[in-house]
Structure 1
Amino acid sequence: MHLLFATSIVPDGALASGYEIANAAIIAALRRAGVRVTVIGFIWPGKAPSDPENTIVLGAIDVRTESASARQKLAWLGKAMLSGLTFASVKLRAVSDSEVGAAIERAGPFDGYVLNSVQFAGAFEKLFANHPSIFVAHNVEHASARENAAAANSRFQRLLFAREARLLKTMEERLCRRACFVFTLAEEDRAALGVASDDRSAVLPLVTTATAPKPVKPRRIDYDAALIGTWTWQPNRIGLDWFLEKAVPHLRRNFRIRIAGNMPSDISSAHPGVEFVGRVPDAQAFVRGAAVIPLISTAGSGVQLKTIETFELGLPSVATSRSLRGIDHRPANCVVSDDPAAFAGALEAAAADVRDVDGSAFHRRQIKELDAAIRLGLERLGPVGQEVFA
């Protein structure tokens, strides 16, 4: 079986975001199932595809809103309003339908598409009607857009996110309706997308690495707690605001917190133990330097890759219930609380008595269930998929 994996950004091997980590896990699982996978999409400027023999690059593009100029943002907004596309999809209209169509033809004979999230599929939707498809819903995007609208600081942002929510809802409905099968990354997303029956969808348990990370013993503890993420992404920002404004004030003043990653300019904390450290050279080494990992998601859908990585590494954690979406197996050293004061108390208790566990069992279980879900989806792809496993 040969499938064309249509995605916004093709893999370059860096795994710099949760989206890229998820894509790598899904592509690897498809290949373990015996599928020939050709990836098509854009690439970050200055990067090269990690698997050039099986990748079709449409061009280099930077789709990050936070790094775009005011002129570029206005251009994207104008194109979105004129075209009726979402703001996220219109960023990818840097090439024409005919150019994308020609690139698809160059992929040679193939049996179907894997439409990876709504952004690329929405930008070139009519081109993907000529073969059966599997739709991968990384998130329930319309629900996230509604949450972003509710949390927006200005009327303009609220209106923009509300528009995105309306368009995304109809787009997700179309993609799900046309797909032979839908993969989600969290169980609750199946019902939210209207595909809860087992013959329509399955959850993909994910991993962050191909092999289980090896434990480091003894660990050197340099700070009490560590967080890392792309905090300019609105669902992540909502969780960070909750943590800094609600939970951190309950922590003792000498509790040391290090926060790494791309940070909005208006983030701050009055707590003397909080330090924003920007980009770090080694994300795993950074989190391994903490006594405990706060898992602080309070918005969004899909799965939290930072939660999966924490469990793979066997590190102690304190998690909101929203941080555990898409994960069925919680290790013994993870405490769950949605109450800010209790959350802070659990962080202090975990930092005072550090208890690592072996994360390899969690990793093996995720891989086994991921492969089973991929096989189920491929079988639903039609006669070609059924022949693969005959």
Structure 2
Amino acid sequence: MHLLFATSIVPDGGLGSGYEIANAAIIAALRRAGVRVTILGFTWPGRTALDAENTIVLGAVDVRNDHASITQKLKWLAKAVLTGLTFSSVKLRLVGPEQVRRAIAAAGPFDGYLLNSVQFTGAFDGLFDDRPSIFVAHNVEHVSAAENAIAVRGAFERLLFRREARLLKRLEARLCRGARFVFTLAEEDRSALGVASDAKSVALPLITRPDAPPPPAARRTDCDAALIGTWTWQPNRIGLDWFLGEVVPHLRRDFRISIAGSVPAGVTSFHPGVTFVGRVPDAQDFVRSAAVVPLISRAGTGVQLKTIEAFELGLPTVATSSSLRGIGHAPANCVVADDPAAFAAALERAASGEVADADGSAFYRRQRAELDARVRRGLEALGYQRHEALA
């Protein structure tokens, strides 16, 4: 079987975001099942496709709001209003539908599409109706947009997110209706998308690395707790605001917290132990330098890849319930707390040594085996026969 993986940003070997990690895991699972995968989409500026032989690149684009000027954002907004597209999809209209049609034809004979999230498909709606498809819903985007509309402070931003939520809800419903099968990344997203039937969808457990992690080894800690993320993304920002505003005030004054990643202007903390360190050279080394990893999601849908990564590394964690979306089996060294004071108390206990490192390889192996099994269920909905994988 040959599938065309249509995505906004093609894999380039970088695994700096949850979106990139999830894409790598899904594509690897498809190839382990014996499927030939051709990838279609854009690259980040200055980067090249990881698998150039099996990738069709439409151009280079930077879709990040925090990297765009006010002028660029206004151009995107005007174009979105004029075309009726979502703000997230209009950023990808650097090429016209005809160029995308030619690129699809260049992929050669193939059996179906893997429509990877709504942004790319929404930008070129209608071009992927000629073959059966699997829709990959990384998140329930309309729910995330509606949550963002509630969380933002400005009236103009609130109107934009409400518009985005309305358009995304219609687009996601259309993609789910048209797909033979739907992959979500969290169990609860199946119901939210209206595809809860086992004949129509499955939630994919994910992994963040190609091989099982090594057994736990002695490590030196430089801080009590470490957080890393793209905090300019609104669902992540909601969690960070909750952590800094409601959890941190309950921590003792000498509790040391390092926060890595891009932080929006105006995000601060009066706690003397909080340090914003910006970009770090190695995310795994950074989180391994902490006694405990706080998992602080409070909004959004889909799965939290930072949660999976921490579990694979066997690190002690304190997690909100929302951070465990898409996780069927949390390890014993994960403490769940949603009350701010209880979350802070659990962090202090873990940092004092009450919660030890674990062997994350068992978690990894269970996730990978279940991922492969569930990907095959989706492929079978496209007519894939098990003997094809043996050919």
> Common fold, TM-score beyond 0.5?
yes
- CA-to-aligned-CA distance 1:358-389 (integer Å, 9 cap, x gap): 0000000000000000000000013x557737
Aligned counterpart, 1:266: 266
1:147 pairs with 2:178: no
Counterpart in 2 of 1:365? 366
Whole-Å Cα distance in 2 between the matches of residues 376 and 273 of structure 1?
Answer: 48
Deviation at 1:213, TM superposition (A): 2.1
Secondary structure of the corresponding residue to residue 72 of structure 1: helix
Name the counterpart of 1:356.
357
Q: Which residue of 2 aligns with 1:86?
A: 86
> Which amino acid is the alignment partner of residue 141 of structure 1?
E
Q: Which amino acid aligns with 1:295?
A: L
Per-residue deviation, residues 168-201 of structure 1 (Å, max 9, x unmatched): 0000000000000000000000000000010000
Alpha-carbon contact 1:318-1:337 (below 8 Å) kept: yes
Query: d(CA) in 1 for partners of 2:337 and 2:298?
Result: 11
- For 1:212 and 1:67, locate their aligned partners in 2 and report how far apart those are by CA, in whole Å: 35
Does the CA contact (< 8 Å) of 1:256 and 1:273 recur in 2?
Answer: yes
Corresponding position: 1:56 with 2:36:
no
Contact 2:310–2:317 (CA<8 Å) still a contact in 1? yes
Distance 1:236 1:212 in 2: 27
- The amino acid across from 2:365 in the alignment is R
For residue 326 of structure 1, give the secondary structure of its aligned residue in structure 2. Answer: coil
Instruction: Return the TM-score normalized by structure 2.
Output: 0.98
Supply the AA of the counterpart residue of 2:5. Answer: F
Q: What CA distance in whole angstroms lies between the structure 2 residues aligned with 1:54 and 1:389?
A: 19
Task: Name the residue aligned to 1:375.
Answer: 376
Matches within 5 A, 1:53-202: 53-202=53-202
Q: How far, CA to CA, are the matches of 1:123 and 1:135 in structure 2? A: 15
SS for the counterpart of 1:128 is coil
Match for residue 20 of structure 2? Answer: 20
Instruction: Figure out how many residues of one structure are paired with residues of the other and give that number.
Output: 389
Contact 1:379 1:389 in 2 (8 A): no
Q: Deviations over 1:71-122 (max 9, x none)?
A: 1101000000001000000000000000011011000000000000000011
Deviation at 1:262, TM superposition (A): 1.2
* 8 Å CA contact 1:113, 1:131 repeated in 2: yes
Contact 2:12–2:49 (CA under 8 A) maintained in structure 1:
yes
Runs of 4+ displaced beyond 2 Å: 384-390
Structure 2 stretches lacking a partner, 5+ long: none
Aligned partners of 2:216 and 2:314 also within 8 Å: no
SS in 2 for 1:379: helix
* Cα distance in 2, alignment partners of residues 71 and 385 from structure 1: 51
Say if 1:387 and 1:86 are closer, same or farther in 2 by CA, change over 3 A.
farther
- The 3-state SS of whatever aligns with 1:158 is helix
* Contact 2:227–2:293 (Cα < 8 Å) also in 1: yes
Partner SS state of residue 276, structure 1: strand
* Aligned counterpart, 2:230: 230
The CA distance in 2 between the partners of 1:263 and 1:101, in whole Å, is 39
What is the alpha-carbon distance in structure 2 between the residues aligned to residue 348 and residue 260 of structure 1?
20
TM-superposition CA deviations, 1:215-252 (whole Å, max 9, x none): 45211011000000000000000000000000000000
1:224, 1:351 within 8 Å by CA — same for their partners in 2?
yes
| TM-score between both structures, scaled by the size of structure 1 | 0.98
**Counterpart-to-counterpart distance in 1, 2:216 and 2:325:** 27
Amino-acid identity (%): 72
Give secondary structure in 2 for the equivalent of 1:264: coil
Aligned to 2:336: 336
1-structure distance, mates of 2:309, 2:51: 24
Distance 1:45 1:215 in 2: 37
Cα-to-partner distance string for 1:313-370 (whole Å, 9 max, x where unaligned) = 0000000000001001111110001000000000000000140000000000000000
Give the whole-Å Cα distance in 2 for the aligned partners of 1:53 and 1:128: 22
Preserved contact between residue 318 and residue 343 of structure 1 (Cα < 8 Å): yes
Match of 2:372, as an amino acid? Answer: D
CA deviation after TM superposition for structure 1 residue 265, in Å: 1.3
Is the contact between residue 378 and residue 386 of structure 1 (CA under 8 Å) also seen in structure 2?
Answer: no
Give 1:30-41 correspondences, 5 Å limit: 30-41=30-41
